[in-house]
Structure 1
Amino acid sequence: MEEFLKRCEQSGDAAYGALRSLLERLEDPSTRTDARVFLSELQKRFSSKETSERDRCLETYHFQIQDIYLEQYEGFEKRKKLSMIVIPSIFMPEDWSFTFYEGLNRHPDSIFKDKSVVELGCGNGWITIAIAEKWSPLKVYGLDINPRAVKISWINLYLNALDDNGQPIYDGEKKTLLDRVEFYDSDLLSYCRDNHIEIDRIVGCIPQILNPNPDAMSKMITETASEEFLHSLSNYCALQGFVEDQFGLGLIARAIEEGISVIKPMGVMIFNMGGRPGQAVCKRLFERRGLRVKKLWQTKILQAADTDISALVEIEKNSPHRFEFFMGLAGDQPICARTAWAYAKAGGRISHALSVYSCRLRQPNKVKKIFEFLRNGFTDISSVLDLSFEDESVADEKIPFLAHLANILQDISFFSYEPPAGSRRFRSLISGFMRTYHHIPLTADRAKRCSSLEMRFSFDLCILEPRINRMSKGETSVVYTSVYLRNVVVFPSRTVAIESALRLLSPRLAIVDEQLSRHLPSQWLTTLNIEKAETGKNSEEVIAVIEAPRQSDLMLELIKKLKPEVVVTGIAQFESVTSSAFEHLLDTTKEIGSRLFLDISDHFELSSLPSSNGVLKYLAGTSLPPHAMIVCGLLKNQVYTDLEVAFVISEEEEMFKALCKTVELLQGSTAIISQYYYGCLFHELLAFQLADRRPPPLANIASIPTNPEVGYKLTEETLTAALKTPFLIDSFHSFAGVSKPHSTTKYAVKKLLDLREQETGNPLNATAEQMENLQNRYKHLKQTLESSGWDVLEAQAGVSVVAKPSAAYLGKTININKSGSSQEIKLDDSNIREAILSSTGLCINSAKWTGIPGYCRFNIALEESNFKRALDCIAKFKNLFGK
């Protein structure tokens, strides 16, 4: 004992060396008991002294054993105090740490139970040990940048984990503090990051004043550093490269951002914050990083006498910000740092507020993704990042978008070229939203197939395509499917979409809703030339735009009187609930031959509970006529009010292609960032829903038997017999307009008759020439197939021939190349297509495609050179089996 004290008496470094030797004995299980008994005797020696003599122990022997009384709880075995060794080179327990512990105490007991916890700036480890003592966490890591603090913390752990006889103290779960607590050297959370440790709770009481001597913070931090330097690590911090450095909060800002990377999604961070910068600044430190913050506890404490606030005075000198101090503990009016510094110099005592804040991540996985991206070379952006929100709906839009953007930018080095019509992903999301929330069978840019009995007959918008399905041996069924063209084109804004459409169509006269005409070229709105333009005159000069009120009855009256070529209008709010106004516009514009562009921007909601919309109700049950287009500008976002994207829906393929080219010619393309933003909103509304929960109804398919004697064709007799089936008749008559002459069909017939009356007759001549060409090809192909051992079905029209291989092929063996190796196969209906493709390069359709047992399909709609090559391939395949 005397030798130990004599060694400690020499200097602070010598005392630390003696304590370190004692720690080595505590870490060794064979000497641990004796070392702990020695600590008990050392503690008893000074506990029997007078208070003044105990206080002089720190000056004389450069260490001190303190008892910290935890009055507000009773731990295991009703222990109300912890015994702690302190040395001059580490942080002494005082008001800061006591207030911090009081804040932790305001949490429910479950806050740390069975959780992994980290304390930043653990000092001599008393709070780390107290957390383990009271709340029984799974593991508590005490981290400190001061290596001497870590060693003393380990000694204090043994001092409290073992009794005076050196025996373990077990808690109710049969664990000791040694099972729950560990201490490590670490610059903030570097230990956890380097060891890939995920944490449930992060607590910290770390320095919040810049060192008046910045050069001092650049020294290497080692055990052999001076006591003064090591102790300064408890009071001061260096510049961290954050905007909060100006308030002395840079180290806490860095701790929070490091904490975001290691904390679990539902984790909690708790920090002790001096109120000197002001409560608003302290709260914003957390909120702008995407944290929900709650103040647990606040009190006033006297400013530590060994902390120099001159750095805060310098900050006030160079900025308009004012720090908050108080004159004594009873003062209630804040004073600035300069006044506080002068008052303290004159012998006054100054105080400041001290608060404990608890915070959780909002949308944790997305916020983590954002900060993960910023750490990889974009740290400068974090200074301007703002994830604080007064309105939760704004957070629901902004955070997912930034996370989505971070995810994209992390994976790519450049933006890939997107089609002029817009990003395929974005258009698919629009289509998905329309299908899911408004039940509109919309696709991005391709045909959606649906049974003609499932949907409705609309010969102007759907192409009937026959398909033979194999049902059973000797019986097939013919299913006619409709191809609905629901195309989406993306524009930078609805104004651009409207102007581009007008430039494309170059109408003599256009009627435009007065709310949509504001940004059109002024010459269009001022010209009085609404008569038919002279031939060859520049189209831009003759476009006349008439403004009209947004009220359907007035708009309809103008359309009937002026007979414009293009109508661009919206729907008034009181008319938007039903489809009546929209249907009247459709009928009127169709009657006079006008193209209609209907704007639904003001009534389109990006919401999981969108309000009723008459236009969208109409589209859910009825196809969009070819003369009508829907324009929708996405305007109602909560974050970037000036960010707009628009899309146009058209079911006319030629119009779709023309609009795509117009976008590319006049605008280039829509900003990809804008498409990402609104695409993210659509994705958020679709991602949580179960896929295919509402599949389209099954097609009502009728099985019509066909016979090989007539080439499996649908004859008049078989069709008549099928149409007598009662459910088919009911199905046909259940769709409005099926049994009536269709106006578009009549229009097409009229046009064809007009062409026939013309003297030139070019269309008919071209058709006759094409028919003759197909007949000649059919004869050549049939002759080649029959001479090569194929049985050909007679064909009367079409662009393909169906034939069946004979015994000259079936059952024969042939070597083909498959997956880079030669393989011998025996020919049958299922593999003859693969054999022909492998041996000659000719691709045909097998019986699986035709649905006719044993019959393959040969296409004759080829270029002349390719057709001749196909004939040669058929002969070549025949020669593989001999003459």
Structure 2
Amino acid sequence: MTAATATAEAVEEFLRKCEASGDEAYGAFRSVLEKLEDPSSRTQARVFLSDLQKRVDDSDECLNKYHFRIQDVVLDQYEDSCPIMVAGFSALTILFPSIGYQGRKKLTMMVIPSIFIPEDWSFTFYEGLNRHPDSILKDKTVAELGCGNGWITIAIAEKWLPSKILNPNPDAMSKIITENASEEFLYSLSNYCALQNVVVFPSRAVAIENALRLFSPRLAIVDEHLTRHLPKQWLTSLTIKGTDTENSSEHELTVIEAPRQSDLMVELIKKLKPQVVISGIGDFEAVTSSAFVHLLDVTREVGSHLFLDISDHFELSSLPSSNGVLKYLAGNVLPSHAAVICGLVKNQVNVFHYTGHLTVMLLQEEISVFSDQVIRWVSRFVYSDLEVAFVISEEEAIFKALSKTVEVLEGTTALISQNYYGCLFHELLAFQLAERHTHKEVQKHMNIHRDCEKAKSTEMIGFSRSAISVLNSAELSITETPNSGLIHMDVDQSFLPIPSLVKAAIFESFARQNMSESEIDVTPSIQQYIKSNFGFPIDINAEFIYADCSQSLFNKLVLCCILEGGTLCFPAGSNGNYVSAARFLKANIVNIPTESEVGFKMTEKTLVTILETVKKPWVYISGPTINPTGLLYSNKEMENILTYIIFELYYSILNICPTIFSMVIFLQQALENCGWEVVQSCSGVSMVAKPSAYLNKTVKISRHSAGSGEKTATEQIKLDDSNIREAIVKATGLCINSGSWTGIPGYCRFTIALEESEFERALDCIAKFKSIVHVVN
């Protein structure tokens, strides 16, 4: 056997080990690192790495299959250098400078994907540093924030020769990340935007209102500073009569405003025994955790759910003030009856500010800057109109229910807001939770706390009956499945290419800061638009209701209908998200039947019949394009039914977007070829079809282990309207909506607002499902 053959076999054996899991890949690279550190085996190990790099390439395929990637980071002009082999701060990372094209120096990295992969912003950050002379950091002590896998630290050490580079919080990092940390734990640490006991809401006000609607308590005590946006009919004075719940309706919800002072709040809780408490905390009480602990104890004793708001005391800063609640969370597990609300209302970040670049960097011995301009340390507000809120709970049932509630009532919190603040949290929150427990310690403490709570607490209310009914039956976005790479044709979001004008507007909105209130206020523009385009006179005192998405705005109309004692009338074949939201809000609902012969349109004859039997009707119609069927109302049809309706203007985009038109044709052909009865779509970004060829047939689906992904068993499913969605997801990873969502028995909804590659995968999934059913039958 030649040396080349032996090396090739060693490379293949190494890849087989890495293919098993990320943990196995980590172990394999640890052995390589040990050989690199040993002078007697260093040459052999370096040759092995070169052969390995030739065998694999820098691609997502290598990342997904072998759980690692070899990636080059081009640094700067070079003269001469030696290899550097290091273990990164947060994961095993092997880096060694090498000669690249055009005479540039580069770092070649082997990175394990389940931990930290260099992000685009890190290269931009390094590029900014690289524009300055080599002497800028020489012989200085540097603390580098957000090091990721450590590549920037190595690059700084190589180019600028500081005396040392400090880990900004070594004690916290040593406790968070250990040598034996599992792949799942490290992934959860890096995946800070995922659902991990944290629910993201558009704002603090939305989080509070949704929590109250989820529980629908007979009596709730809410901090007087947090009631401004609650429905006025909920609020009452401290003097109330008849707190007995025996004859009360679930629709009744009473909120008592209370002062923001823990001792007064505690007295009210003991006397009134509310089912839900939403409290803030005073400035003088926020420094320590004693007030929080007192509230936890008394609410547990009387059987109240506690939501504590810390928004006014939370700073997104690397030098935060003392926060008693965060100190408590660092050393204790949050009890099951309690949750923490954090709205980013202060929106404040401490930064170095100077002309040119904006960078957060701490130097121990002296401040070094990348400009000749004078530096000043400032506290500034970052995008004051870009608010999000977080609700943190250790109780799985509560945070899952809250995540479903916000999806039903608000849609999805803007991704821009989530990602923007996700980065800030990732970089800065570790400074405030320096003593966090490991995953195993948290589980141990949770079990102990649960046993103690059962012994000391009074029984608490659960979720309202209407909430449970809606959350169990609504077809929400699918996130938990053994299949990876889900294709979402079941969500009302557009993944189509963004026009360049929109991109420019988004960039400008982030590039500009310190805008005046008049520049942010959109009301004058809307008033002018309504007056010039529709001829409606606008009273200067008219109230405008705003929302982040159409779903949230629709819910505000539903609340208006409820206040007037009206009844919502939905044609069969309406947007299932809207129907679920109306049911969650406890609106009176009447369904208007539609027929397939007229494309599931609501006709004037049917509407008149329904309105004769309904008091104060509010009729919903999606027009001129019908969502989800994609059909169109003619002008005459619209004129005949434009009475007492909630009008959702859903513009057609088929006439202006040839790509969408071709996608409609391809999807229709794929469905028809696979035995689906398709309703011809004329507009919009969705269509409906009936799985006629699959009903009452049996399909075999493999079950997989949630941990390893290995096949564990096979189940048979007899297909009908109630399980067709579940069967398609399990068999192919394609997410659609069933007849329970569309309101049309037997007809499923497909959205086509996908990226081109995702759309092609969706077509393959449709064909794959046909082949599976065909094999069985």
Q: TM-score, normalised by structure 2?
A: 0.30
Q: TM-score, normalised by structure 1?
A: 0.26
Instruction: Work out which structure has the larger RCO, using CA pairs closer than 8 Å and 6 or more positions apart in sequence.
Output: 2
